[in-house]
Structure 1
Amino acid sequence: MELDLTWILLGLPTAFALGWIASRLDLRQMRIANRQAPRAYFKGLNHLLNEQQDQAIDSFIEAVQNDPDTSELHFALGNLFRRRGEYDRAVRVHEHLLSRADISHADRQRAQHGLALDYLKAGLLDRAEEALRKLEGTSYEGQARLARMAIYERSREWPEAAEVALLLEKSGEADFGIRLAHYQCEQAREAVQKGDSAKALELLAHALQAHPHAPRPRLLMGQLQLSHGQAPAAYDTLSVLFEHNDMAAPLAAASFAQAALACDKAASASALLQAHYLRHPCIDVLDAITALEAQNSQSAAKPDAPALQRYLNHLQNHPSMMAASRWLNGDHHKWGALPEPVQKTLENATKPLARYRCAACGFEAKEHFWHCPGCQSWDSYPPRRVEEL
């Protein structure tokens, strides 16, 4: 059969025309898709500015479907899911980014950081720790270490927290000396709860040696020494707080007065307390002074007039329900014993004023915390009662 050149001459232009038409259709489709992706992206931004997160997510999903290779849209979606509390969806987005071989090294680190944040917000601390460890040696190393330290603090893994704090300190992030002292104090408290006072004293001594300006190790050591009948040692340990006019000294006032009475150093202790009170008037220090003076009074049946006068002087310069309550309860020779309803009313009125309040979150507690149980901040509790703030 002979080849008909006529069909070939007719077929070539036809094939060319069909190819040209197909390419034009593809280009048109690409232009439509490219127009739709930015439109959906800008719609999502507009919804975000209007705080309409549901609509923003829908718009970004539409943009991702139109342009699945755009990593920025995936990051935006992951952040939105995390902010909405949809942590499983946020994890899937960031895991998808990490599984891609075409993203840059910087974007891979960013996705790993986003994945760690997803686990942190979801409360999956083990997975978060593992994800954060993978950020060592990256531009997110400092943030990852701070997050790991927070995880160890929440789980009360103090040695691990100290290890990370030392790494941060060596890298020049900040000075974590006081924080490291807190970690040793927490370990000492756990040792005391287990009945290992020797280990607790060793930890506190090491903390004092490494961080002599940290008040908490000195306070805990003095209280521990006092509880074990070592009053002279407790006196020497706690007196430093008052000699240096440490702001945390009021927390040690009661223990310091007990140690002074036990080792017959009431006079020197009273002098230190009064000197501190003149610089920083405080009801706890005043209570310690009056306790020492009351113990030294010759007659226990007769109220100590100078002690009561101190509360009156305090009231003149610093109006205080707590001081007024103490004066009323102590001035029995003039008023007689207060009726029980009056005493109960005074106690109920002064209880809220005797609490401590976190300066970071406002959490109030009967006892002073070095680590706020509400916001997890360190040293956020002033060593003064609510009434004195």
Structure 2
Amino acid sequence: MEIEFWWLLALPLFFALGWLAARIDIRQVVHESRALPRSYLSGLNFLLNEQPDKAIDAFVEAVRIDPQTIELHFALGSLFRRRGETDRAIRMHQLLVDREDLSEEQRLQALGELGQDFLKAGLLDRAEAVFLRLRDTRASDLALRYLLEIYQQEKDWAKAIGVASSLPDHENVHWRTEVANFHCELATQALGSSNFEDVRIHVEQALLTNRRCVRASLIQGDLLAAEGHDEAALDAWKRIESQDPVYLALAAQRIMDAYGRLGRVEQGHLLLRSWLERHPSLD
């Protein structure tokens, strides 16, 4: 195969360009590595050798030598949090938040990390304050998910419902199930204080959100029974078979009690036997 003459001329040129590009890359790498504190490189070496304690000491020294290493501040703060050293993580990320030379993206990241530090430390009020600041920013999705975690820990179900309903994927099955359960928590609280109207409202909301919510049917039956409406209570509990028959055992005693009050115990036995025939795996 003959080689075109111009290829012979071009080959040395391509070689020279490749050599020049490599030299530029090498010089850049060398320049950047010389600009880093020696303790930073030592820290990386300790991490590679699975010596995290020594790595942290080296990174702390690197930050002391060169306070401009923003990414190192982030990495070190996260490392402190993972190790449970939340006080040090909070100080590291607070320093970042207070800096005036951060870009908007870096400031949002620093606030998000600080909020996670507070959450890990159990400082829920301070974590909530940070994530509320982030709620209407580009970090909104992250903030909403952590706010939901906080409100669940605090058992503040009304706020949990508000936050869950604002999540971008709030219409999927998982969140509809969760929101229905939050309404059931509020209904249970209202039932305990005999606030029957609130029970009714939250049970209806739970079933509207997730029509297969067994817990809502149980609570609705309990409400109707407490109001003296045993027939309607039985209808609510019987609905569980179409929602999820696995949980029918939770309604069995309630149903027998209601039939007992109505003077129709044998009818209750017949119903339970029919359930066992259709669903042999029930206890």
Q: Identify whether the pair has TM-score above 0.5, normalized to the shorter chain.
A: yes
8 Å Cα contact 1:168/1:174 also seen in 2: no
Structure 2 counterparts to residues 1-389 of structure 1, below 5 A: 35=34, 37=36, 39-168=38-167, 175-266=174-265, 269-282=268-281, 284=283
Q: 1:210 to 1:36 in 2, by over 3 A?
A: closer
For structure 2, the residue ranges without an aligned partner over 5 or more in a row are 1-29
Separation in structure 2 between the aligned mates of residue 137 and residue 196 of structure 1, nearest angstrom: 35
Compare relative contact order (CA 8 Å, sep 6+) and give the higher one, 1 or 2: 2
Structure-1 separation of matches of 2:192 and 2:154: 17
Query: For residues 39 and 202 of structure 2, what CA distance do their matches in structure 1 show?
Result: 60
Structure 2 Cα separation of the partners of residues 232 and 275 of structure 1: 19
CA distance in 2, matches of 1:134, 1:173: 26
Contact 1:218 1:237 in 2 (8 A): yes
Change (3 A) 1:68 1:209: closer
Shift of 1:143: 2.1
Structure 1 SS opposite 2:245:
coil
The 3 A distance-change label for structure 1 pair 279 and 71 is farther
Compute the displacement of 1:203 (Å): 2.4
**Pairwise CA distance, 1:283:** 5.7
Deviation at 1:42, TM superposition (A): 3.2
SS of residue in 1 equivalent to 2:135: coil
User: Is the contact between residue 219 and residue 238 of structure 1 (CA under 8 Å) also seen in structure 2?
Assistant: yes
Question: Paired residue for 1:3?
Answer: none
Structure 1: gaps of 5 or more residues: 1-30, 285-389
The one-letter code sitting in structure 1 at the alignment partner of 2:167 is L
TM-score when normalising by structure 1: 0.59
Q: Give TM-score, length-normalised by structure 2.
A: 0.78
Q: How far did residue 47 of structure 1 move?
A: 2.7
Q: Conserved in 2, the CA contact under 8 Å of 1:215 and 1:246?
A: no
CA drift of 1:60 comes to: 0.5
> Matches of 2:206 and 2:33 in 1, distance apart?
63
Residue 4 of structure 2 corresponds to none
SS in 1 for 2:81: helix
Determine helix, strand or coil for the equivalent of 1:43: helix
| Cα deviation, residue 131, structure 1 | 0.6
Structure 1 vs Structure 2: percent identity of aligned residues? 37
How many angstroms does 1:234 deviate by? 1.1
The aligned length equals 254
1:46-102 CA distance string (max 9 Å, x none): 333444332111110122233321111101111122122222221121121122222
2:261 and 2:98 map into 1 onto residues whose CA distance is 69
Coordinate RMSD, CA, aligned: 2.8
CA contact under 8 A between 1:242 and 1:272: conserved in structure 2? no
1:247 alignment partner, SS class: helix
Quote the Cα distance in structure 2 between the aligned partners of 1:45 and 1:114.
22
> C-alpha separation between the residues in 2 aligned to 1:67 and 1:91?
19
Instruction: Name the CA distance, whole Å, in 2 between partners of 1:224 and 1:135.
Output: 40
Distance 1:239 1:34, change over 3 A: closer
Q: Distance in 1 between matches of 2:47 and 2:182?
A: 42
Question: Greater helix share, 1 or 2?
Answer: 2
User: Which has the higher Rg, Structure 1 or Structure 2?
Assistant: 1
Task: Report the Cα distance in structure 1 between the residues aligned to 2:44 and 2:138, rounded to whole angstroms.
Answer: 27
Relative to 1, partners in 2 of residues 1:133 and 1:237: Cα closer, same or farther, differing over 3 Å?
same
Write the deviation string for residues 240-287 of structure 1: whole angstroms up to 9, x where unpaired: 112555322221111122223333555554444334323433564xxx
Amino acid paired to 2:103: S
Return the alpha-carbon distance in structure 2 between the equivalents of residues 120 and 259 of structure 1.
46
Distance 1:282 1:37, change over 3 A: same
Any idea what the Cα deviations from partners look like across 1:5-60, whole Å, max 9, x if unmatched? xxxxxxxxxxxxxxxxxxxxxxxxxx999648354223223333444332111110
Query: For 2:280 and 2:264, how far apart are their aligned partners in 1?
Result: 22
The change in CA–CA distance for 1:153 and 1:245 in structure 2 (over 3 A counts) is: closer
Aligned-partner SS, 1:63: helix
Q: Secondary structure of the residue that 1:213 maps to in structure 2?
A: coil
Given that residues 212 and 244 in structure 2 are in contact (C-alpha distance below 8 angstroms), is that contact kept between their aligned partners in structure 1?
A: no
**Cα distance change, pair 244–176 in 1 and its aligned pair in 2 (3 A):** closer
The verdict on how the C-alpha distance between 1:245 and 1:138 changes in structure 2, with shifts beyond 3 A counting, is closer
CA distance 1:34–1:282, change in 2 (3 Å): closer
